[in-house]
């Protein structure tokens, strides 16, 4: 198809729309007029032997010429146009999954073929963000049953890459989240790899938190490794900690996460499908899931944890994946730092056996590493934690971690934010509770995770006696404006750290 009436010259807009392909046209261009395109129309662009379905944004002033279409970074990467390229624009065919999407919105149960169609259209950009938001909302809460969760997980797995590590056990771990500073993964990977096991860890960037594992790890070493580079690191060192988005192990999940981020909610079904599709795609055989439980954690009660655990186990069995669950304390943050560089600092202090290292992070990492070593084939159950502790104390875990960093591209010490201010206690007493969600929000307002050095350094713990005027935590920021945003929020919510009468 090369009709001149539907052609426009391509330029690069230089606009990052994350993973969403967007095309920009002037409202008076001949393509908009002849095709009837309006703002947010889905358009099909073909250039050479490549094509992309993108969302149209309409330009109303003279910033864009009438014979030009500007592509967002995501659209440009997919089309990869040559110099002076043109594209032919048309209306795309309706997505094959439209009937399944509509059925789910109206409360019907979906089968495996329905979910497969939805996930295929998701990775092929056939569904707009509005349609994806509708699917996520229709699947939220308890609107996905166990069978649908299994079907969605299999569909996510089917539309991405899978790694085959050959024979033998491949260990992995995951935390369902909701607990600031709970950065055990780099420590656990280092210990398990030092014990001689394979642990190829793919991790996510922050969704609704001030830092994901990939964000914290990226402060210390490159994480955007492709599949072959990841394999090379694991073959060399036994483990890795890389960003899952680069290896496309569950690309549909990466796209759904992008839409979930502004919605700021998910569901048990979506959590399970997200986690286990990536674990199965990574070639894992034995997986440990950490579920922190607390009133301001993601999982708020023992009853909710039991429901999530049952769904995880049922889905893992359907995938042929060995899975165990460890419920942990989710009442308060773990470690001192909340934010990529601050959490990386804590990780290194534990691995280096620093006397001032956060005890709770160290203890939790040893619990998880020990539980994972206990489920490894041939392990003597109950001995894992002692093995983990020995590997940490001897420096073997630190050596392995630094070797993994070097294999991924080189180790870097975490940086420090230029602006730091304390938030002070307004009364004397004993710390009764800490609001994880609001504490995390302060770290995000300070600039985390976008600003790697931004976040919070929090040393208070439940049960600690504190004096009026004593620091509750320190806010770290890259700019005065971000610091002020965070401090204003902290001032407006003085009960983030609840102080009661001392005992």
pLDDT over threshold 70, residue 331: yes
pLDDT band at 297 (very low <50, low <70, confident <90, very high): confident
Angle at 36 between CA 33 and CA 38, to 5 degrees: 100
Domain end (from 116, 132, 158): 158
Separation CA 76–CA 338 (nearest Å): 35
The answer on 203 and 317 residing in a single domain is: yes
> Looking at 125-129, 285-289, 469-473, which range is the least confident one?
125-129
* Sequence-distant contacts of 376-382: CB under 8 A, at least 24 apart: 376/169, 376/171, 376/197, 376/286, 377/169, 377/286
The answer on 192 and 131 residing in a single domain is: no
The answer on 280 and 132 residing in a single domain is: no
Tell me if 414 is assigned to some domain.
no
**Tell me: the pLDDT tens digits for 30-54?**
999 999 999 999 999 999 999 999 9
Q: Which two tokens stand for residue 350?
A: 């534990």
The answer on 435 and 367 residing in a single domain is: no
**Average pLDDT for 184-204:** 96
pLDDT over threshold 80, residue 143: yes
Tell me if 166 is assigned to some domain.
no
pLDDT over threshold 60, residue 503: no
pLDDT over threshold 90, residue 389: yes
For 52, list phi and psi in degrees, rounded to 5: -150, 140
Cα separation values, 35 from 49, 60, 182, 430, Å: 22, 17, 52, 67
Residue 128 is part of a domain; what is its CATH number? 1.20.970.10
pLDDT band at 250 (very low <50, low <70, confident <90, very high): confident
Tell me if 256 is assigned to some domain.
no
Q: According to the 3-state scheme, what is the secondary structure of 103-142?
A: HHHCCCCCCHHHHHHHHHHHHCCCCCHHHHHHHHHHCCCC
Separation CA 160–CA 153 (nearest Å): 11
Hey, is 493 helix, strand or coil?
Answer: coil
Separation CA 461–CA 447 (nearest Å): 24
pLDDT of residue 83: 93
pLDDT over threshold 80, residue 100: yes
**Average pLDDT for 495-500:** 94
> How many structural domains are present in the chain?
4
For residue 34, the 8-state DSSP code is: H
pLDDT of residue 426: 92
One DSSP character per residue, 321-366 reads: -EEEEEEEE-SS--SSEESHHHHHHHHHHHHTT-TTS-HHHHHHHH
One DSSP character per residue, 162-219 reads: -----SS-BEEEEE---STT---HHHHHHHHHHTT-BEEEEEPPPSSSS--HHHHHHT
Separation CA 440–CA 209 (nearest Å): 7
pLDDT of residue 3: 59
Tell me if 259 is assigned to some domain.
no
The answer on 435 and 396 residing in a single domain is: no
pTM as predicted: 0.87
Domain end (from 408, 433, 462): 408
pLDDT of residue 231: 94
Instruction: Give the range of the structural domain holding residue 464, as residue numbers without chain letter.
Output: 419-500
Tell me if 253 is assigned to some domain.
no
Tell me if 165 is assigned to some domain.
no
CA dihedral for 349, 351, 355, 357, sign (positive or negative): positive
The answer on 278 and 404 residing in a single domain is: yes
Domain end (from 384, 408, 432): 408
The answer on 379 and 437 residing in a single domain is: no
Tell me if 254 is assigned to some domain.
no
To which residue do tokens 């995938």 refer? 319
> Which residue from 449, 427, 39, 412 is spatially nearest to 203, judged by alpha carbons?
449
The answer on 63 and 142 residing in a single domain is: no
The answer on 433 and 371 residing in a single domain is: no
Residue 52 is part of a domain; what is its CATH number? 2.40.40.20
The answer on 375 and 278 residing in a single domain is: yes
The answer on 393 and 460 residing in a single domain is: no
pLDDT of residue 207: 72
Tell me if 164 is assigned to some domain.
no
Residue 489 is part of a domain; what is its CATH number? 3.90.1170.30
pLDDT band at 1 (very low <50, low <70, confident <90, very high): very low
**Average pLDDT for 88-104:** 96
Q: Which two tokens stand for residue 326?
A: 């460890």
Confirm if 139 and 104 have CB atoms less than 8 A apart. yes
Separation CA 232–CA 451 (nearest Å): 30
Separation CA 21–CA 26 (nearest Å): 17
pLDDT of residue 260: 83
The answer on 62 and 44 residing in a single domain is: yes
Paired with 465 in beta bridges are 430
> Which residue from 11, 9, 15, 8 is spatially nearest to 72, judged by alpha carbons?
15
Separation CA 17–CA 14 (nearest Å): 10
Residue 333 is part of a domain; what is its CATH number? 3.40.1030.10
Active site residues: 266
């Amino acid at each position: 198809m090369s009709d001149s009436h539907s052609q426009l010259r391509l330029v690069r807009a230089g606009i990052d729309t994350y993973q969403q392909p967007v095309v920009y046209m002037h409202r008076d261009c001949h393509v908009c007029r002849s095709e009837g395109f309006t703002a947010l129309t889905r358009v099909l662009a073909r250039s050479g032997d490549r094509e992309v379905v993108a969302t149209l944004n309409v330009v109303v002033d003279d910033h864009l010429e009438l014979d030009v279409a500007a592509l967002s970074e995501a659209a440009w990467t997919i089309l990869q146009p040559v110099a002076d390229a043109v594209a032919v624009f048309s209306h795309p065919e309706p997505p094959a999954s439209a009937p399944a999407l509509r059925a789910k919105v109206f409360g019907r149960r979906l089968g495996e073929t329905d979910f497969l169609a939805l996930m295929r259209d998701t990775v092929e950009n056939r569904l707009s963000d509005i349609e994806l938001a509708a699917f996520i909302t229709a699947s939220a809460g308890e609107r996905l049953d166990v069978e649908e969760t299994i079907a969605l997980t299999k569909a996510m797995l089917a539309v991405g890459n899978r790694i085959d590590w050959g024979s033998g056990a491949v260990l992995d771990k995951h935390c369902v989240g909701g607990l600031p500073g709970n950065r055990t993964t780099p420590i656990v990977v280092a210990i398990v790899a030092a014990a001689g096991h394979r642990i190829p860890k793919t991790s996510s960037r922050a969704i609704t938190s001030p830092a994901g594992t990939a964000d914290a790890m990226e402060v210390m070493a490159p994480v955007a490794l492709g599949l072959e580079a990841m394999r090379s690191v694991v073959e060399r060192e036994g483990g890795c900690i890389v960003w899952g988005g680069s290896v496309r192990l569950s690309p549909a999940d990466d796209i759904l996460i992008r839409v979930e981020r502004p919605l700021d909610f998910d569901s048990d079904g979506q959590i399970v499908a997200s986690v286990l599709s990536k674990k199965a795609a990574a070639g894992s055989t034995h997986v440990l899931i950490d579920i922190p439980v607390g009133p301001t954690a993601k999982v708020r009660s023992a009853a909710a944890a039991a429901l999530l655990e049952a769904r995880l186990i049922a889905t893992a069995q359907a995938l042929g994946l060995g899975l165990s669950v460890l419920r942990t304390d989710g009442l308060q943050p773990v470690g001192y730092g909340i934010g990529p560089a601050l959490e990386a600092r804590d990780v290194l202090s534990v691995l280096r056996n620093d006397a001032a290292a956060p005890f709770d992070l160290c203890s939790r990492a040893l619990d998880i590493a020990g539980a994972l070593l206990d489920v490894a084939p041939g392990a003597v159950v109950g001995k894992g934690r002692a093995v983990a502790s020995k590997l940490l104390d001897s420096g073997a875990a630190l050596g392995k971690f630094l070797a993994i960093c070097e294999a991924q591209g080189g180790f870097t010490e975490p940086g420090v934010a230029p602006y730091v201010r304390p938030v002070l206690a307004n009364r004397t007493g004993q710390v009764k509770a800490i609001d994880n969600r609001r504490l995390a929000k302060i770290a995000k307002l300070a600039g985390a995770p976008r600003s790697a050095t931004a976040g919070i350094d929090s040393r208070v713990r439940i049960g600690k006696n504190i004096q009026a005027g004593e620091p509750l935590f320190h806010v770290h920021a890259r700019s005065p404006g971000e610091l002020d945003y965070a401090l204003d929020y902290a001032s407006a919510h003085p009960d983030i750290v609840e102080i009661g009468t001392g005992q």
